[in-house]
Amino acid sequence: MTAVSTASDVKITARATPEQRRATVIGTVLLLLAGVVVWVFGLGVESGARSTFNLSLPGERIQDLSWAVNSRWLAYLVAAVVAFLGGWVLRRSHLRWTNLALAIGLGLFALAFLTWAAAGKSFSLVGMLRSTVILSVPVTLGALTGLMCERVAVINIAIEGQLLTAAFVGTIMGSAFGIWAGLVAAMVAGAILGAVLAVLAIRFQVDQIIAGVVINIFALGLTSFLARRVLAAAPDLNSPGRFASIKIPILGDIPVIGSVLFDHNMFVYATFVLVLVLHLGLFYTRWGLRSRSVGEHPKAADTVGIDVYRTRYLNTILGGLIAGFGGAFFTLSQVSRFEENLTAGIGFIGLAAMIFGRWMPLGALGAGLVFGFARAIQQKLGILGTPIPSEFLSMTPYIVTIIVVAGVVGISRPPAADGQPYIKQ
Amino acid sequence: MSDRVPSPEDTSASNWLDRATGVGTSLGRALMLPALAVITALIIGAVIIALTDIDTLTVWGDDPGEAFRLTLSGIGDAYRALFVGSLGSWRAITETLFAATPLILAGLAVAIGFQAGLFNIGVNGQMLIGGMAGLWVGFSIDVPAIIHIPLAVLAAMVGGAVWAGIAGLLKARTGAHEVITTIMLNFVAIFLVDYLLKSSIFQQPGRNDPISQPAGSSAQFPRLLGDYRLHIGFLLALAAVWVAWWLMYRTTIGFEFRAVGFSPSGARYGGMNVAWIYVAVMAVCGALAGIAGANQVLGLEPYRGISNFAGSVGFDAIALALLGRSHPIGVLFAGLLFGALRAGGREMQGAAGIPIDLVLVLQALIIVMIAAPALVRAIYRIKTPDQELETSISAGWTK
């Protein structure tokens, strides 16, 4: 009896749990990254080459702040830390911190990569971080749209169409009646498409993915059609102007952080506030609890008196407002002009960010920043002239998403009832 | 997860079409919904044309009668051009068939997925990868056309199948939802192709932009009727329709595909290897999409690969598969219709100045009405048929 139980105990402890297996994979990946850092980023530069990071932008109060570092030694230092993290994860002693170790490791890897790319040159680190924040805005807003809908079990792959339509409407109304009118109109346009999605998904019980695809095709077709037919004939409707930057007093003058975080237009600040509000709302208010229950177990929610349909309509339309805000960002903040297919897949990156951020607003912001960073690096690499093709960096968000949905680095679990129509009995 | 296709054992259907299509409705009822959807879409399209005619809109205040006449003639010109460009002459008809060729192939790639309960949004990427593989064979070897074309098409099929197979494998091994993975793989494929087109293997010597060398003349699809652009790709598409029909309705594999689509758990209890079937379904879809991709590089001028040469075909294919009720014959006719819209849309843009993007709007309207039959019935006040057609194909990300 004892012999048998001992044997089975041994078997149980010998078989790795999913977390342990994950730790093995991630630990190995970190060790490999450390190797890459040594061989490519360390030995790949001339010894004694220095990378100079500019830490101030032109026109700032404190000028000519920069950080010069020996490229090879920094790579060695990073490799040592990453290898240490890898070994630590491989010991499987602190499984809770596996993801944190991976995040730190990848962050350091990015730093080593930049140092390598900037070896012998100077590089505006602050400029890149600033772009990261700006580029993360539409992605984060797209992800927030997606999670607002999916938290109540309405799959929204129409984010792209919502952004595009809102960008278009914002341009026209902004040109005709001023940027604030453009912003409001864009948000209304996003909300209308949200309502269309909700009606198709809830009232007509159309397959939600088909409904999303339809809205995307419709938005692309209609905005391109109108851009060629109306905007081409009336070009004065295609110059809405932009929201000006508002430098936050005191905070905006802090070196590095000031330029990166506190010298933007209201879209950036509003996005940060929105993320915080939604996170608190979703997890600490009655509305949030009800929304989540509708997404996880609509029948139970119905039984305790929550109006499932009303909650779904409300949240999908609120999500549309957010998408409209995100769409306005394209034409009222960045380029101030509408062009065909202006959003170019950002809505899908938003969808990816929602998954990567595990259906949580703070996660969405984190994912948005990561994907914004990937796009910012990609823009800067051309200037530095590195041998890495920019196409591979462009792919990163999508590959990361595939890895995440495949559960290799932690499982990202959608709301339980996601995509299923609810039929009241 | 439920699906539109009735159980494979369903033999209660009475007439030949029911047996052939597996749709348990009579011919009239099966055609009424698509017909009404197309007509309604054209009417809404006319309204859009009228509302966006800036010059005429300003006339309404001064002379409503004249404005009304102008509006009608504007719509008339547009739709006349749409008809002339698609069916008005022999050249127009061949242009319709030419435009329909990739659509039919890509539509099959979505339809077979639907029948097996998989939503293949990744046709775009599969076309790109397949097309690049076909193109590579097309310019890198030099053999007679009789060997070269089949080899290039085969390479394209393998390329598409491998790319789609990634999504199938991920679903089988990890349960990752194919909608997410295929959307992401589309973007990966677009950037990968951009990279390849600038690499020394593919790039046209002396160029800096992403453009490939041309396929050798022996790999270019021969034209069927002299000057007209219609080429043997169309015959390939017809053959693919037949093969798809035969595979789905006359073979064990097809039976298994449909059984998994009908009920994955039922198929599992029936002893089928559902995980393997997911991979196989995606591979078949990818192979078909690969032929569509080869068609885009070997079937038309300038016989080169360019950035995102698949265009919107991968997304039109979803509309097609829905309109064709996921049946190969349905996809064939839906493909011809959309081909006519494409060919006519080009004429409409050239002759009547209506941007071809209107075709996308029409397509979106058609799909939404097909996907929500209740919408059409509400518009035309048609009584609900005895048998409601299910439209739910995918249920959540994790199933």
B18 or A224, which is more confident? A224
- Which chain B residues are Cβ-neighbours of A355 within 8 angstroms? 180
> What sign for the dihedral angle of Cα A424, B3, B9, B10?
positive
Cβ separation B322–A210 shorter than 8 A: yes
Residue B204 binned pLDDT confidence (cut-offs 50, 70, 90): confident
Alpha-carbon gap: A413 to the closest alpha carbon of chain B (Å): 8
Q: Which of B308, B299, B305 is nearest to B125 (CA)?
A: B308
Q: Cα separation of B359 and B385, whole Å?
A: 30
Question: Searching chain A, which residue's CA lies closest to the CA of residue B189?
Answer: A395
**Predicted local distance difference test score (pLDDT) of residue A110:** 86
B228: DSSP letter: S
Rounded-to-integer distance, Cα B252 and Cα B323, Å: 26
Task: Name every chain B residue with its beta carbon within 8 A of the beta carbon of A157.
Answer: 179, 183
pLDDT at B22: 43
pLDDT greater than 90 at residue A395? no
Tokens standing for residue A259: 């330029």
Residue A57 pLDDT level (bands cut at 50, 70, 90)? confident
Min CA distance, A181 vs chain B (Å)? Answer: 22
Q: Note the pLDDT of residue B389.
A: 45
CA-wise closest residue to B391 among B338, B337, B330, B326: B326
State the pLDDT confidence band at A63, using cuts at 50, 70 and 90.
low
DSSP state of B88: S
**Chain B hits for A204, Cβ within 8 Å:** 372, 374-375
Taking the CA of residue A419 and the nearest CA in chain B, the distance in Å comes to: 4
Q: How confident is the model at residue B24 (pLDDT cuts 50, 70, 90)?
A: very low
A293 band by pLDDT with thresholds 50, 70 and 90: very high
Sorting pLDDT into bands at 50, 70 and 90, what band is A292?
Answer: very high
Decide if A209 and B371 are in contact by the 8 Å CB cutoff.
no
Query: What span, in angstroms and rounded, lies between the C-alpha atoms of B141 and B219?
Result: 9
Please tell me if residue A218 touches chain B, with a CB cutoff of 8 Å.
yes
Give the chain B residue nearest A219 (alpha carbons).
B361
Q: Quote the minimal CA–CA distance from B79 to chain A in Å.
A: 16
Judge: B364–A225 Cβ closer than 8 Å, yes or no: no
pTM of the model as a whole: 0.84
Inter-chain CB proximity A418 and B397 less than 8 Å: yes
pLDDT of residue B26: 55
* pLDDT of residue B392 exceeding 50: no
Residue type, A67: W
Distance CA A100, CA A192 (A): 40
Query: CA–CA separation, B193 vs B216, rounded Å?
Result: 20
pLDDT attached to residue B252 = 92
- pLDDT band for A248, please (50, 70, 90 cuts): confident
For B45-77, the pLDDT digits (tens) are 999 988 888 777 777 777 888 888 888 888 888
Looking at residue A235, what DSSP letter applies? G
Q: pLDDT grade, residue B178 (50/70/90)?
A: confident
B292, B110 Cβ separation under 8 angstroms: no
Please judge whether B318 and A210 are an interchain contact, meaning their C-beta atoms are less than 8 angstroms apart.
Answer: yes
Chain A hits for B179, Cβ within 8 Å: 157, 209
Closest CA to B285 of B103, B120, B102, B115: B120
Contacts of range B208-214, beta carbons closer than 8 Å, 24 or more positions apart: B210/B306, B210/B307, B211/B304, B211/B305, B211/B306, B212/B135, B212/B139, B212/B297, B212/B304, B212/B305, B212/B306, B213/B139, B213/B304, B214/B139, B214/B302, B214/B303, B214/B304
Largest Cα–Cα separation, chain A = 88
Residue A264 confidence (pLDDT) above 60:
yes
Nearest CB partner across the interface for A405, out of B55, B176, B354: B176
Mean pLDDT of A87-108: 82
A contacts of B352 (beta carbons < 8 Å): none
Interface mutation vs chain B, best among A217, A218, A346, A413, most B CBs within 10 Å: A217
How many inter-chain contacts (A to B, CB under 8 Å) are there? 161
Q: What is the 3-state secondary structure (H, E, C) of B322-357?
A: HHCCCCHHHHHHHHHHHHHHHHHHHHHHHHHCCCCC
pLDDT at B242 exceeding the cut of 90: yes
Of B33-37, B73-77, B136-140, the one with minimum mean pLDDT is: B33-37
Q: Which of A296-310, B23-37, B354-368 has the lowest mean pLDDT?
A: B23-37
Q: How far, CA to CA in Å, does B194 sit from each of A174, A393, B127, B147?
A: 35, 12, 14, 29
Q: Which is more confident, B189 or A51? A: B189
Q: Tell me which chain A residues have a C-beta less than 8 angstroms from the C-beta of B194.
A: 391
Any idea what DSSP says for residue B306? Answer: B
Structure tokens at A401: 């998403």
CB atoms within 10 A of CB A18: 10
Q: Are residues B48 and A225, on separate chains, in Cβ contact within 8 Å?
A: yes
Looking at chain A from residue 350 to 369, which residues have their Cβ under 8 Å from any Cβ of chain B?
351-352, 355
Of A137, A157, A212, A102, the closest CA to residue A364 belongs to A137
Q: So what's the pLDDT on residue B279? A: 95
Q: How far is A66 from chain B (nearest CA, A)?
A: 34
Q: Which of A157, A217, A398 sits opposite B188 (nearest CB)?
A: A398
Ordered structural domains, chain A, with CATH: 14-120 (no CATH), 130-405 (1.10.3470)
Q: pLDDT (tens digit, 9 = 90+) per residue, B302-352?
A: 889 988 898 889 888 988 888 888 899 999 999 999 999 999 999 998 888
pLDDT at B384: 55
Give chain B's count of helices (H) and strands (E): 16, 0
pLDDT tens digit sequence for A27-54: 888 899 899 888 888 888 877 788 888 7
Q: What is the dihedral of CA A126, A132, A134, A137, to 10 degrees?
A: -150
Q: Do B52 and A229 touch (CB under 8 A)?
A: yes
Per-residue model confidence (pLDDT) at position B20: 44
Q: Which pLDDT value is given to residue A169?
A: 94
Supply B232's token pair.
């043997």
Chain A residues lying within 8 Å of B170, measured CB to CB: 402, 405-406
Residues of B in contact with A391 (CB under 8 A): 191-192, 194-195
- Asked whether the beta carbons of residue A204 and residue B372 sit closer than 8 angstroms, the reply is yes
Instruction: Find out whether B371 and A206 touch, Cβ atoms under 8 Å.
Output: yes
Cα B31 from Cα B330, distance rounded (Å) = 10
The ipTM, to two decimals, is 0.82
- Over range B93-105, report the average pLDDT: 95
Please list every residue in chain A whose beta carbon sits closer than 8 Å to the beta carbon of residue B48: 222, 225
E strand or H helix that includes residue B102: helix B90-115
The pLDDT mean for chain A works out to: 85
Q: Lowest-confidence range among A408-417, B74-83, B138-147?
A: A408-417
The pLDDT of residue A409: 55
Contact residues on chain A for B175, CB-CB shorter than 8 A: 407
What is residue A316's predicted lDDT score, i.e. its pLDDT? Answer: 95
Check CB contact of A414 with chain B, cutoff 8 Å. Answer: yes
What is the per-residue pLDDT across A147-206, written as a single tens digit (0 to 9) for each? 999 999 999 989 999 999 999 999 999 998 988 999 999 999 999 999 999 999 888 888
Q: Rounded distance, CA A334 to CA A318, Å?
A: 24
User: Chain A residues with CB inside 8 Å of B50's CB?
Assistant: none
